[in-house]
Amino acid sequence: MAGSADTLFMPITNGEIPLGEGQWLYLGARAIDGGFPDELRAALVCEQSMRGAYLDLQMRGMNVSPRVDNTDRFSGALILIGKHRGENETMIARASNMVSAGAPILIAGDKTSGVAPLRKRIAAFAEIDGSLAKYHATVFWLRNSVDFASHFSSAKTSPQGYQTSAGMFSAEKIDKGSALLAEHLDENIRGDIADFGAGWGYLSAELLNRFSPRTVHLYEAHCASLEAAKENLSDYDKGQISYYWHDLTREAVGKKFDWIIMNPPFHEGRKTEPQLGVQFIEVAARSLKPKGGLLMVANVTLPYEKTLQQNFSKVNQLARRDGFKLLKAQL
């Protein structure tokens, strides 16, 4: 179904903005409904940190990487915004530094992404050249002529001195569910351990700080979070830590662990998606050694017990606090 990515390209495909020569930067890149026409495929340099969307673009033959180097000069930029204001503003400021002066910058998002207030904020300090709405989304565009970074507030706190950035899970404070899980880590969680959906590494850091597991394996779909985890765990790393930029719902794990710890994702965009957590539980059950165990935390409203009982022989609720439940399951 067509959506905001299709809307983003409309000013180019309808001839309002010429593609011209040279390459275009595409941040927050996602595939479009009918596939990219050849001229766009040749012109676009795509950035996508989420593994699933990255794989979709790669399968379509697009030039895509999780992070595009800041030093390049592009003839224009396309930005598909998401739900995090700070992350959106960071993308726009980065794009502005990477395209030539006066080059077009197109910004699009669906109705729920905050594209309308974003446009209003930008219109207060820069001239908007045009906009159009289609597929429940809006695109607006302008020339690269202002220092965006100086207009966006960048005040941000990082939890407990860890390295995080806007758009990552619990970028500003430790999640209460993750804290509950961390409190229940003990010396019995040992051997080869995987942290599923590891984010910027909070749970692994708690584990490594207090215990000495043989190996720790962090699986995370968001590349920027995983890179932050490498920084955050560098003091503990004696060669026993491995990092995987990995979509657990699409890619095989291919290893077996004694324990898996996780605070699984339950949102895709703004929608609650309990199915994501269900898939995480099923993958966890397949990725444990015989007698292996899973320690997971979830919002009390999420119905994971049935899936746990179907996949494990013993399931216990260890704690309940702040709207979260801590569940332990053993094969």
Question: Contact residues for ligand SAM (CB under 6 A)?
Answer: 169-170, 175, 178, 197-199, 202-203, 219-222, 225, 246-249, 263, 265
**Least Å distance between CB 170 and ligand SAM?**
5
User: Which of 174/331 has CB closer to ligand SAM?
Assistant: 174
Give min distance, CB of 3 to ligand SAM, in A: 19
Task: Please enumerate in sequence order all residues whose Cβ is within 8 A of that of 94, keeping only pairs 6 or more positions apart, or say none.
Answer: 27, 70
Q: Please, which residues bridge with residue 45 across strands?
A: 25
Cβ distance to ligand SAM smaller for residue 169 or 243? 169
User: What's the number of CA atoms in the CB half-sphere (13 Å) around residue 127?
Assistant: 5
Q: Which is nearer to ligand SAM, 96 or 178 (CB)?
A: 178
Q: Beta-carbon neighbour count of residue 268 at 10 Å?
A: 11
| 225 three-class SS | helix
Q: Shortest distance, CB of residue 55 to ligand SAM, whole angstroms?
A: 11
Q: In angstroms, what is the minimal distance from the CB of 217 to ligand SAM?
A: 12
Tokens standing for residue 326? 């801590």
Q: Which is nearer to ligand SAM, 52 or 191 (CB)?
A: 52
Tell me how far apart the alpha carbons of residues 200 and 17 are, in angstroms, rounded to a whole number: 39
Nearest-approach distance from CB 215 to ligand SAM, in angstroms = 17
Strand partners, 242: 217
Comparing CA positions, the residue from 321, 306, 320, 215 lying closest to residue 329 is: 306
User: Whole-number minimum distance, CB 240 to ligand SAM, in Å?
Assistant: 18
Q: Using CB positions, name the residue nearest to ligand SAM.
A: 197
Contacts of 213 (CB under 8 A, 6+ apart): 189, 190, 191, 192, 193, 207, 240
* For ligand SAM, the closer CB: 108 or 228: 228
Nearer to ligand SAM, 43 or 285 (CB): 285
C-alpha separations of 63 from 68, 91, 229 in Å? 11, 18, 26
Q: What residues are paired with 74 via a beta bridge?
A: 99
